[in-house]
Amino acid sequence: MTTPRGIDRLLHIMARLRDPTNGCPWDLEQNFSTIAPYTIEEAYEVAEAIERQDMASLRDELGDLLFQVVFHGRMAEEQDHFDFDAIAHACADKMVRRHPHVFGDAQIGDAAAQTLSWEAIKAAERATKGEAGPVSALDGVTAALPALTRAAKIQGRAARVGFDWGSPLPVLDKIAEEAEELRVEIAQGASPERIDEELGDLLFAMTNLARKLDLDPEGSLRRATLKFERRFRAIEDRLHAEGLTAAGQDLATLDALWDAIKAEEKAQP
C-alpha cells in the first residue's frame, strides 16, 4: 500500500474533523473569524522557533501554521468558495507573475530592483481588480499588521519616494527631540491623550531608527523582552533559593540583583 503524501493525509484528517456526523465538536463549531486568531498565533510561534534556532520546533510550528491554512481552505470549500488546491494554484500563479525575471524575460539586477518590480506588479494587479482609486505610495500596507511592523513598512514606502533621512544619525536627534517633548508633557501634567500622542511619536521615531539600521523593530523588541524575562526569572530563582520572593523586596535590592546577573551574562564568553 502506497503511503499518502503528507499534504493529502492532512487534508483527509481535516475533512474528518469537519465531518458533520462524526467530526470533532470543537472543530465543527469554528468559522473563519474564530480561527483567525489561532492563525496569527501560529505565525508568531514560527517566528519564535526561528529566533531560538530550534529546527525541531520550527518543523512542528510550520506544521501548525499549515494546518491553519488547511482549516481555512476546508471551511471555504464547505461554503463553495474555493478549496486548498485553489489556494495553492493561486499562490503559484502569483509567484510566477511577480517574478518575471525568473519565469520570463525581464531583467532585474538586484534585490532592491526586485522590490520595486514587485510593488509595481502589485499595483497593476490592484488596477486589474478595479482597486486603483487614488494612488498613494503607502497603498497596500494592511492595518492588521503589528504596530511596529506596520510603522516600519509605512516608513519604508515613504522612503521610496525620497521622504527619508540619509543616515541613522538624524533619526537619533529626532528620538531625543521626541523624548524631550514627552518629558515636558509628563512634567506639565498633560492629559493622557497628549501623553499618548507623544509616546506614539517617540515609538514611531525609534521604529524609524531600526529601519535605517536594517533591523526589524518587532524582532528587536521581542529579543529585548526575552532578555528581560530571562534576567527577571534569574532574580526570582536567586530569591527563591533563599526562601524569598521578588514581591517582598524593595527596588534597590532587585536592582542590585539585576546588575549582578547582567554583569555575569556579559562576562560569559
Cell of 227: 532578555
pLDDT at residue 201, rounded to an integer: 97
Measured from the Cβ of residue 176, the count of other Cβ atoms closer than 10 Å reads 12
Task: Please name which of 91, 98, 143, 104 lies closest in space to residue 116, comparing C-alpha atoms.
Answer: 98
Residue 222 half-sphere exposure toward CB, CA atoms < 13 A: 16
pLDDT band at 107 (very low <50, low <70, confident <90, very high): confident
Burial of 218 (0-12, 13-18, 19+ CB in 10 A): buried
**pLDDT of 135 strictly over 80:** no
pLDDT at residue 229, rounded to an integer: 94
Task: Please name which of 44, 47, 219, 48 lies closest in space to residue 149, comparing C-alpha atoms.
Answer: 219
For the chain, how many residues are written? 269
Fold of domain 138-215? Helix Hairpins (1.10.287)
**pLDDT of 131 strictly over 70:** no
The answer to whether domain 6-97 and domain 138-215 are alike in fold is yes
**pLDDT of 103 strictly over 80:** yes
Measured from the Cβ of residue 118, the count of other Cβ atoms closer than 10 Å reads 13
Report pLDDT digits (tens) over 206-226.
999 999 999 999 889 988 999
Instruction: Output the average pLDDT for the chain.
Output: 91
**pLDDT of 154 strictly over 70:** yes
| 262: Cβ contacts below 8 Å, ≥ 6 apart | 231
Cell of 146: 503589528
**pLDDT of 247 strictly over 60:** yes
Place of cell 486548498: 84
pLDDT at residue 6, rounded to an integer: 93
Separation between Cα atoms, residue 173 and residue 151, nearest integer Å = 19
Element (H, E) at 180: helix 169-187
Fold of domain 6-97? Helix Hairpins (1.10.287)
Kindly list the domain boundaries of the chain, sorted by start residue. 6-97, 107-135, 138-215, 219-267
pLDDT at residue 113, rounded to an integer: 80
- Residue with the bigger pLDDT between 117 and 5: it is 5
Q: Helix, strand or coil for residue 157?
A: helix
